[in-house]
Amino acid sequence: MKVSYPLSLKVSVWLLLNLLLLAGLGVGFLVYQGGIGWDALVAGTSGTRAQATANVIAGEATAAATPEGAQAVLNRFGSAYGVEFYLFRGDEAQIAGTTVELPPEVKARIDLWPMRGGFGGRGEFGPGREGRRPGDFKGPRREPPEKAKREPGDMTRREPPPFEPGPERIPGRFVIRTGSPTAYWVGLRVPVVFGERGRFPIPSVLVARVDSLWSLLHFLDLQTWLLAGTGVLVLSVLFWLPLVRGITIALGQLTRATEEIADGRFDARVPADRRDELGKLGDSVNRMASRLDTHMKGQKRFLGDVAHELCSPLARLQMATGILGERAPAELRGTVEDVRDEVQQMSTLVNELLAFTKAGMQRRDVELTTLPLAPLVQDAIAREGGGERVTVLVPAELQVRGETDLLTRAIGNLVRNALRYADASEAILVSARREGDRVIVAVDDHGPGVPPEALDRLGEPFFRPEAARTRELGGVGLGLSIVRSAVVSCGGEVHFSNRTPRGFRAEISLASG
């Protein structure tokens, strides 16, 4: 016994798994990086790596001891990362790098890290003062930090307080995006020691200017996260694709099968190998099509048998009424003529039934050949006695795929229908045109048309619009059914519509020969 899996359960489980995956990755990224916003890019592990890189750059730049050497260090690292580096002190004084005017928002962030007492000076490169080796950093004279008060006899060594950032920004990293032109500014606080004798670092900031987001991610070593996010999207698409594709294919098969069944092709079937609601629906469609096929074949076979059995007695009855009409007294000839009309109506009905069953019981694998359309149309019109009332506009070179008898019967029935309903003074037009690989044959008249709500039912056996329910005009309701059955057997389609402002149009679509 096969286990059923409801479609709602499948969709719910797949959706839940996908949402859990995306939510887990998103929460993990935020927690790992330490927040939301541009500053989050320099938090967590990525910020630690960037800080280590900044310390190395600042250390090598100050160790170079000359402006040219420091510039070379910054250029070397800048080329490696695709950025421009500048070294500033906490009071915005530039220590090294190409001279640059910082945007106000960047200056404001640097000012949040004030200089502490005892670390004054401009931090310029220059020749060493007395007592320093040439090449050491030179700065203005520094005043010793204020000594802490001691109690008498207290000989404990006092160290100056270490540098601490202001409370506004901890741990001293920022990322700012500016416009006109677009640029990304990364600030990382670094210690800078001037000369070998410098006891304490001066709080400074290494500023990196990045022109693109990709370069920023490269500098912060975040390409992996970007690639991971792209991978999550691709994985999500691949994750949902089998389910969506399976549902789409199943619905497409159901749609095609139901359209074929609606057109009278009851041998259409849907693959019923699914174990969900769509599989059950496909199985129901197959059983419905099978029962309809059996029912319609039985009905048409019954009608054909009845019509065939009625042919002989009706023929004999027509012959008898004819003889009776010749021999009947004058006062009875009117009555006999009425009987002959009734017998003729019955004969017409029987002939229509035979034609309908013949077209409907036609094998689906009827052999189709390439036929010239113009002679076939002329033959159908001649059989219906159209004569001068029918105008034909069919190019001589048009050819269609079909079976001669079926197409002649279909076009003939449409012409007969137009002759019956159109005024005798109005012409009927039979035209044909090519549209891609199809040929459209149209029969237009200037009759009253049919009610709009009846258009969809035209072609059903024994269906007649209310306006046509008369013996003289209504027929038996099988003419258009024969047209549809014959055209479908030839692999074509039939469409009916009303013309504006008055008239009726029937179109047959056939494969081009």
Instruction: Quick: pLDDT tens for 151-174.
Output: 544 444 444 444 444 333 445 788
Residue where one domain finishes, among candidates 358, 389, 422: 358
Task: Give the CATH number for residue 335.
Answer: 1.10.287.130
Alpha carbons 120 and 198: distance in angstroms, whole number: 12
Task: Give the count of beta carbons closer than 10 Å to the beta carbon of residue 54.
Answer: 25
Amino acid at position 190, single letter: V
Question: Smallest Cα–Cα separation from 221: which of 88, 30, 33?
Answer: 33
Most confident stretch, 107-111, 236-240, 289-293, 494-498: 494-498
The owner of tokens 């002939």 is 351
Q: Quote the pLDDT of residue 68.
A: 83
Inter-residue contact 285 to 258 (CB < 8 Å): yes
If asked whether residues 412 and 496 sit together in one domain, one would say yes
Alpha carbons 58 and 210: distance in angstroms, whole number: 18
For residue 482, the Cα-to-chain-centroid distance in whole angstroms is 41
Query: What's the mean pLDDT when you consider all of the chain?
Result: 76
Q: Quote the pLDDT of residue 370.
A: 92
Alpha carbons 28 and 141: distance in angstroms, whole number: 50
If asked whether residues 405 and 418 sit together in one domain, one would say yes
Task: Give the count of beta carbons closer than 10 Å to the beta carbon of residue 507.
Answer: 16
- For the chain, state the CA radius of gyration: 47
Alpha carbons 480 and 478: distance in angstroms, whole number: 6
Confidence (pTM): 0.46
If asked whether residues 415 and 485 sit together in one domain, one would say yes
**pLDDT of residue 306 exceeding 80:** no
If asked whether residues 353 and 367 sit together in one domain, one would say no
Sheet bearing 94-96, strands edge to edge: 94-96, 84-89, 202-210, 183-192, 173-178
If asked whether residues 485 and 371 sit together in one domain, one would say yes
In a domain, 219, yes or no: no
If asked whether residues 432 and 321 sit together in one domain, one would say no
Q: Computed from CA positions of residues 43, 46, 52, 56, in that sequence, does the dihedral angle turn out positive or negative?
A: negative
The owner of tokens 């670094």 is 190
Alpha carbons 290 and 270: distance in angstroms, whole number: 11
Q: Which two tokens stand for residue 492?
A: 């074509």
Q: Quote the pLDDT of residue 221.
A: 77
Residue where one domain finishes, among candidates 358, 383, 408: 358
In a domain, 411, yes or no: yes
Alpha helices in 88-128 (DSSP H): 104-111
Residue 367, exposed/middle/buried by CB under 10 A (0-12, 13-18, 19+)?
exposed
If asked whether residues 476 and 389 sit together in one domain, one would say yes
Q: Computed from CA positions of residues 196, 197, 201, 204, in that sequence, does the dihedral angle turn out positive or negative?
A: negative
Confidence grade of residue 333 (pLDDT, cut at 50, 70, 90): confident
Would residue 265 be called left, alpha or beta, if left means φ above 0 and alpha means ψ between -120 and 50 degrees? Answer: beta
Residue where one domain finishes, among candidates 325, 358, 391: 358
Alpha carbons 92 and 188: distance in angstroms, whole number: 14
The residues, any chain, with a CB within 8 Å of residue 342's CB and separated by 6 or more, are none
In a domain, 314, yes or no: yes
Alpha carbons 279 and 7: distance in angstroms, whole number: 10
The residues, any chain, with a CB within 8 Å of residue 1's CB and separated by 6 or more, are none
**pLDDT of residue 227 exceeding 50:** yes
E strand residue ranges, 157-262: 173-178, 183-192, 202-210
Amino acid at position 144, single letter: P
If asked whether residues 502 and 370 sit together in one domain, one would say yes
Inter-residue contact 115 to 139 (CB < 8 Å): no
> Average pLDDT for residues 46-50, to the nearest whole number?
81
**b/e 226-239 (16+ beta carbons within 10 angstroms → b):** eeeeeebeeeeeee
Question: Smallest Cα–Cα separation from 358: which of 281, 300, 425?
Answer: 300
In a domain, 354, yes or no: yes
If asked whether residues 484 and 404 sit together in one domain, one would say yes
Q: Worst-scoring range by mean pLDDT, 184-188, 323-327, 470-474?
A: 470-474
Alpha carbons 417 and 503: distance in angstroms, whole number: 12
If asked whether residues 326 and 462 sit together in one domain, one would say no
- What percent of the chain stands above pLDDT 70? 77
Task: Give the CATH number for residue 438.
Answer: 3.30.565.10
Peptide bond preceding 181: is omega within 30 degrees of 0, i.e. cis?
A: yes
If asked whether residues 307 and 347 sit together in one domain, one would say yes
Amino acid at position 353, single letter: L
- Structural domain of residue 344, as residue ranges? 285-358
In a domain, 68, yes or no: no
**pLDDT of residue 194 exceeding 70:** no
In a domain, 322, yes or no: yes
Question: Smallest Cα–Cα separation from 483: which of 412, 381, 432, 382?
Answer: 412
Alpha carbons 304 and 341: distance in angstroms, whole number: 23
In a domain, 350, yes or no: yes
| Helix-strand-coil split of the chain, %, nearest 5 | 50, 15, 35
The residues, any chain, with a CB within 8 Å of residue 23's CB and separated by 6 or more, are none
In a domain, 101, yes or no: no
Most confident stretch, 214-218, 323-327, 428-432: 428-432
Tally the residues of the chain. Answer: 513
Q: Quote the pLDDT of residue 243.
A: 78
Alpha carbons 388 and 443: distance in angstroms, whole number: 15
If asked whether residues 353 and 426 sit together in one domain, one would say no
- Structurally, the chain folds into a number of domains equal to 2
